[in-house]
Chains A and B, each alone.
Chain A
């Protein structure tokens, strides 16, 4: 089992550009969540997808959008990039009751905005 895979691993973009990050969940998982982790901070929840719908959203602007495909893989899109969007973007997959289930995280995509 490959676990959660994210691509690309590193990315450099220019301010104002748009970026798409990709995530393949762990086999058998149907729920995908995205987190942003700034340097030295804990991960912050962006949103979660289940059955191709956004189920919950954190305190992030509309520039952050996502999508989940029928095979449960997911994309995170960020428009009009700002320098402050530079961070590690983490994808987590899960299945079943979130109270007792564990989330599996990918290695993340390191985004640098210059």
Chain B
């Protein structure tokens, strides 16, 4: 399984944008980049995914580097409800999701 590297923790302020980085230097051409988040006392939830182009949905944006060796999850305007552990995951055909340690995001009011 291709590995991802994320900072252990990040902190931001409410109503400000948040940029969560992920490095995946061993990504293969067919790996999709998925992001999940896990709020306290809940199961993980899907956030967004992409292959090469930047992606937007109602929750967030995903910016993918041109060489695909890194990506950034962007929360445009963080709220207290966005405090969670964010996981960056590569999916290349295996059925399973391989979770790392993720980034624990703290939002200050």
Q: Summarize B's interface: helix, strand, loop or mixed.
A: loop
Chain A: residues with Cβ within 8 Å of the partner, total of 26
Contact B46 A45 (CB under 8 A): no
Name A residues whose Cβ lies closer than 8 Å to a Cβ of B: 4, 31, 33, 35, 41-45, 48, 50, 55-56, 58, 90, 92, 98-100, 102-108
Chain B: residues with Cβ within 8 Å of the partner, total of 25
Contact B46 A99 (CB under 8 A): no
Contact B99 A42 (CB under 8 A): yes
Contact A48 B95 (CB under 8 A): yes
Contact A90 B44 (CB under 8 A): yes
Contact B91 A99 (CB under 8 A): yes
CA distance A108 to B43 in the complex (A): 6
Type the 1/0 row for B30-64, where 1 means its CB is closer than 8 Å to any CB of A: 10101010000111111001000000000000000
Task: List residues of chain B with CB within 8 A of the CB of A45.
Answer: 96-98
Contact A55 B95 (CB under 8 A): yes
CA distance A65 to B73 in the complex (A): 36
Contact A56 B96 (CB under 8 A): yes
Contact A103 B87 (CB under 8 A): no
Contact A42 B96 (CB under 8 A): no
Contact A107 B49 (CB under 8 A): no
Is the C-beta of B17 less than 8 angstroms from some C-beta in chain A? Answer: no
**Given A41-B101, A42-B102, A44-B99: A106 touches B91 (CB 8 Å cut-off):** no
Contact B95 A98 (CB under 8 A): yes
Task: List residues of chain B with CB within 8 A of the CB of A41.
Answer: 101
